[in-house]
Protein backbone atom coordinates (compact mmCIF):
# COMPACT_ATOMS: atom_id res chain seq x y z
CA UNK A 1 0.00 0.00 0.00
CA UNK A 2 1.26 3.43 -0.86
CA UNK A 3 2.11 5.66 2.07
CA UNK A 4 1.88 9.43 1.98
CA UNK A 5 4.46 11.00 4.24
CA UNK A 6 4.28 14.26 6.13
CA UNK A 7 7.15 16.61 6.88
CA UNK A 8 8.68 17.18 10.28
CA UNK A 9 10.69 20.19 11.44
CA UNK A 10 13.65 18.46 13.10
CA UNK A 11 17.19 18.92 11.81
CA UNK A 12 20.27 16.95 12.85
CA UNK A 13 23.92 17.92 12.46
CA UNK A 14 27.23 16.04 12.25
CA UNK A 15 25.55 12.65 12.83
CA UNK A 16 25.63 13.43 16.55
CA UNK A 17 21.91 14.05 16.88
CA UNK A 18 22.37 17.54 18.17
CA UNK A 19 19.40 19.30 16.73
CA UNK A 20 19.66 22.95 15.87
CA UNK A 21 16.82 25.46 15.88
CA UNK A 22 15.01 25.45 12.57
CA UNK A 23 11.78 27.20 13.38
CA UNK A 24 13.26 30.45 14.57
CA UNK A 25 10.97 33.41 15.15
CA UNK A 26 12.10 36.98 15.58
CA UNK A 27 10.15 39.94 16.89
CA UNK A 28 11.25 43.55 17.05
CA UNK A 29 10.12 45.68 19.96
CA UNK A 30 9.76 49.07 18.30
CA UNK A 31 11.34 51.77 20.50
CA UNK A 32 9.92 55.24 20.87
CA UNK A 33 12.39 58.15 20.61
CA UNK A 34 15.28 55.81 21.35
CA UNK A 35 18.61 54.99 19.75
CA UNK A 36 18.45 51.34 20.87
CA UNK A 37 16.14 48.43 20.19
CA UNK A 38 15.39 45.06 21.69
CA UNK A 39 15.02 41.94 19.55
CA UNK A 40 13.25 38.85 20.90
CA UNK A 41 13.69 35.30 19.58
CA UNK A 42 11.78 32.08 20.20
CA UNK A 43 12.31 28.55 18.93
CA UNK A 44 11.20 24.94 19.29
CA UNK A 45 12.70 22.88 22.09
CA UNK A 46 15.52 20.59 20.98
CA UNK A 47 14.34 16.95 20.74
CA UNK A 48 17.73 15.68 21.96
CA UNK A 49 19.32 16.47 25.32
CA UNK A 50 21.63 19.48 25.08
CA UNK A 51 23.30 21.93 27.43
CA UNK A 52 21.92 25.03 25.74
CA UNK A 53 22.02 27.44 22.82
CA UNK A 54 24.29 30.20 21.57
CA UNK A 55 22.93 33.28 19.81
CA UNK A 56 25.24 34.80 17.19
CA UNK A 57 24.80 38.27 15.74
CA UNK A 58 26.61 40.80 13.57
CA UNK A 59 26.23 43.92 11.44
CA UNK A 60 27.76 44.64 8.06
CA UNK A 61 27.48 41.90 5.47
CA UNK A 62 25.57 38.64 5.47
CA UNK A 63 27.13 35.35 6.62
CA UNK A 64 29.86 34.24 9.01
CA UNK A 65 31.73 35.20 10.96
CA UNK A 66 29.20 36.43 13.50
CA UNK A 67 31.42 38.80 15.47
CA UNK A 68 28.89 41.40 16.52
CA UNK A 69 29.11 43.58 19.60
CA UNK A 70 27.08 46.25 21.33
CA UNK A 71 24.21 44.24 22.83
CA UNK A 72 23.64 44.69 26.54
CA UNK A 73 24.12 40.94 26.97
CA UNK A 74 27.63 41.10 25.50
CA UNK A 75 29.45 40.34 22.25
CA UNK A 76 28.56 37.49 19.92
CA UNK A 77 27.99 34.68 20.67
CA UNK A 78 25.68 35.13 23.64
CA UNK A 79 25.16 31.95 25.69
CA UNK A 80 21.41 31.95 26.34
CA UNK A 81 21.24 28.75 28.39
CA UNK A 82 18.82 25.89 27.91
CA UNK A 83 15.78 28.00 27.16
CA UNK A 84 13.54 28.44 24.12
CA UNK A 85 13.28 32.23 24.10
CA UNK A 86 15.69 35.09 24.58
CA UNK A 87 15.87 38.85 24.04
CA UNK A 88 18.87 40.89 22.97
CA UNK A 89 18.78 44.45 24.28
CA UNK A 90 20.39 47.70 23.28
CA UNK A 91 20.98 47.09 19.57
CA UNK A 92 21.37 50.06 17.25
CA UNK A 93 18.26 51.16 15.40
CA UNK A 94 20.31 52.35 12.41
CA UNK A 95 22.11 49.07 11.61
CA UNK A 96 21.16 45.98 9.63
CA UNK A 97 21.66 42.91 11.83
CA UNK A 98 22.17 39.25 10.97
CA UNK A 99 21.42 36.47 13.45
CA UNK A 100 21.94 32.71 13.75
CA UNK A 101 21.67 30.19 16.61
CA UNK A 102 23.47 26.96 17.44
CA UNK A 103 22.76 24.17 19.92
CA UNK A 104 25.59 22.68 21.99
CA UNK A 105 26.30 19.78 24.31
CA UNK A 106 29.61 19.90 26.09
CA UNK A 107 32.28 20.72 23.52
CA UNK A 108 30.10 19.65 20.57
CA UNK A 109 28.23 22.42 18.74
CA UNK A 110 25.78 22.23 15.86
CA UNK A 111 26.05 24.25 12.70
CA UNK A 112 24.28 27.57 12.39
CA UNK A 113 20.57 27.87 11.80
CA UNK A 114 19.55 29.61 8.63
CA UNK A 115 20.34 33.28 8.98
CA UNK A 116 17.74 35.89 9.89
CA UNK A 117 18.10 39.52 8.87
CA UNK A 118 16.68 42.61 10.58
CA UNK A 119 16.53 45.92 8.73
CA UNK A 120 17.18 49.30 10.38
CA UNK A 121 14.28 51.01 12.11
CA UNK A 122 12.34 53.16 9.67
CA UNK A 123 13.20 51.12 6.57
CA UNK A 124 9.99 50.52 4.67
CA UNK A 125 9.85 47.11 3.05
CA UNK A 126 6.92 46.66 0.68
CA UNK A 127 6.98 42.90 1.06
CA UNK A 128 9.00 40.00 2.38
CA UNK A 129 10.05 36.69 0.97
CA UNK A 130 9.92 33.45 2.94
CA UNK A 131 12.00 30.54 1.65
CA UNK A 132 11.48 26.88 2.51
CA UNK A 133 13.48 23.72 1.91
CA UNK A 134 12.84 20.10 2.81
CA UNK A 135 14.11 16.58 2.18
CA UNK A 136 12.48 14.65 -0.69
CA UNK A 137 9.65 12.32 0.22
CA UNK A 138 10.89 8.69 0.52
CA UNK A 139 7.84 7.50 -1.43
CA UNK A 140 6.95 8.57 -4.96
CA UNK A 141 4.81 11.70 -4.94
CA UNK A 142 3.46 14.09 -7.54
CA UNK A 143 4.50 17.13 -5.57
CA UNK A 144 3.96 19.32 -2.53
CA UNK A 145 1.50 21.99 -1.45
CA UNK A 146 2.50 24.97 0.66
CA UNK A 147 -0.21 26.30 2.96
CA UNK A 148 -0.10 29.69 4.65
CA UNK A 149 -2.30 32.01 6.68
CA UNK A 150 -2.32 35.00 9.03
CA UNK A 151 -4.30 35.40 12.23
CA UNK A 152 -4.14 32.47 14.65
CA UNK A 153 -2.21 29.22 14.72
CA UNK A 154 -3.81 26.05 13.36
CA UNK A 155 -7.16 25.67 11.69
CA UNK A 156 -7.75 26.40 8.04
CA UNK A 157 -4.79 27.71 6.04
CA UNK A 158 -6.69 30.21 3.91
CA UNK A 159 -4.04 32.86 3.40
CA UNK A 160 -3.95 35.32 0.52
CA UNK A 161 -1.57 38.01 -0.69
CA UNK A 162 1.50 36.09 -1.83
CA UNK A 163 2.66 36.81 -5.37
CA UNK A 164 2.29 33.09 -6.12
CA UNK A 165 -1.40 33.11 -5.23
CA UNK A 166 -3.72 32.12 -2.38
CA UNK A 167 -3.14 29.14 -0.11
CA UNK A 168 -2.39 26.38 -0.89
CA UNK A 169 0.35 27.00 -3.43
CA UNK A 170 1.35 23.98 -5.52
CA UNK A 171 5.14 23.99 -5.54
CA UNK A 172 5.59 21.05 -7.90
CA UNK A 173 7.86 18.08 -7.20
CA UNK A 174 10.77 20.10 -5.86
CA UNK A 175 12.38 20.42 -2.43
CA UNK A 176 12.68 24.18 -2.07
CA UNK A 177 10.36 27.09 -2.71
CA UNK A 178 10.01 30.81 -1.96
CA UNK A 179 6.83 32.78 -1.32
CA UNK A 180 7.12 36.43 -2.35
CA UNK A 181 5.31 39.63 -1.48
CA UNK A 182 4.07 38.82 2.03
CA UNK A 183 3.31 41.61 4.46
CA UNK A 184 6.07 42.69 6.84
CA UNK A 185 3.51 43.64 9.49
CA UNK A 186 1.68 40.28 9.74
CA UNK A 187 2.32 37.07 11.65
CA UNK A 188 2.27 34.12 9.24
CA UNK A 189 1.76 30.40 9.81
CA UNK A 190 2.92 27.78 7.30
CA UNK A 191 2.55 24.05 6.72
CA UNK A 192 3.41 21.72 3.82
CA UNK A 193 1.80 18.53 2.52
CA UNK A 194 2.85 15.98 -0.08
CA UNK A 195 0.37 14.50 -2.54
CA UNK A 196 0.00 11.70 -5.07
CA UNK A 197 -3.01 11.94 -7.32
CA UNK A 198 -6.00 12.69 -5.09
CA UNK A 199 -4.22 11.46 -1.95
CA UNK A 200 -2.65 14.07 0.31
CA UNK A 201 -0.61 13.75 3.49
CA UNK A 202 -1.38 15.53 6.72
CA UNK A 203 0.25 18.87 7.44
CA UNK A 204 3.88 19.20 8.42
CA UNK A 205 4.64 20.75 11.78
CA UNK A 206 3.50 24.35 11.64
CA UNK A 207 6.10 27.10 11.22
CA UNK A 208 5.58 30.70 12.27
CA UNK A 209 7.12 34.00 11.19
CA UNK A 210 6.51 37.08 13.34
CA UNK A 211 6.33 40.68 12.11
CA UNK A 212 9.40 42.81 11.47
CA UNK A 213 11.57 40.47 9.37
CA UNK A 214 11.97 41.31 5.70
CA UNK A 215 13.33 37.98 4.49
CA UNK A 216 13.20 34.65 6.30
CA UNK A 217 14.40 31.11 5.61
CA UNK A 218 12.48 28.21 7.14
CA UNK A 219 13.70 24.66 6.82
CA UNK A 220 11.74 21.43 7.14
CA UNK A 221 14.34 18.72 7.09
CA UNK A 222 13.45 15.21 8.20
CA UNK A 223 10.46 13.29 6.89
CA UNK A 224 8.31 11.01 8.98
CA UNK A 225 5.24 8.93 8.22
CA UNK A 226 1.98 10.76 8.62
CA UNK A 227 -0.06 8.48 10.86
Domain containing residue 59? 13-118
Is residue 89 pLDDT above 70, yes or no? yes
Do the beta carbons of residue 159 and residue 145 sit within 8 Å? no
Average of per-residue pLDDT values in the chain: 74
Using CB atoms within 10 Å of the CB of residue 213, give its burial: 0 to 12 exposed, 13 to 18 middle, 19+ buried. buried
Sign of CA dihedral 201, 135, 77, 70: negative
Q: Which residue, 80, 84, 74, is CA-closest to 54?
A: 80
What is the DSSP secondary structure assignment for residue 204, as one 8-state letter? Answer: P
Q: Calculate mean pLDDT across residues 97-102.
A: 86
Residue 7 in any domain: the answer is no
What does the pLDDT read at residue 19? 33
In angstroms, the CA 211 to CA 78 distance is 23
Give yes or no for residue 49 having a pLDDT over 90.
no
Mean pLDDT of 169-191: 87
Number of domains in the chain: 2
Of 118, 144, 161, which residue is a domain's last?
A: 118
Same domain for 92 and 152, yes or no, is: no
72-83 pLDDT, tens per residue?
999 999 999 998
If asked whether residues 103 and 87 sit together in one domain, one would say yes
Same domain, 39 and 112: yes
Q: Which of 118, 153, 186 is the last residue of a domain?
A: 118
Q: Judge if 110 and 137 occupy the same domain.
A: no
- Distance (Å, rounded) from C-alpha 24 to C-alpha 11? 12
Answer whether residue 33 is part of any domain. Answer: yes
pLDDT at 184: 80
The verdict on 18 and 108 lying in the same domain is yes
Q: What is the CATH number of the domain that holds 138?
A: 2.60.40.10
Query: Are 219 and 159 in a shared domain?
Result: yes
- Answer whether residue 149 is part of any domain: yes
Q: What's the confidence (pLDDT) of residue 179?
A: 86
Query: Is the link from the previous residue into 168 a cis peptide, with omega within 30 of 0?
Result: yes
Side-chain-side CA neighbours of residue 209 (13 Å):
28
Rg of the chain over CA atoms, in angstroms?
18
Amino acid sequence: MMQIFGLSSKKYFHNLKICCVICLSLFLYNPVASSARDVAFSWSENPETIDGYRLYYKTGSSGASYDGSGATEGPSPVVVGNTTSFTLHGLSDSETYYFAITAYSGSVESGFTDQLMLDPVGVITSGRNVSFSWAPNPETVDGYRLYYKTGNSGGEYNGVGATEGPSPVSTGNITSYTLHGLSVSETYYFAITSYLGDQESGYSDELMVLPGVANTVLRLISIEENK
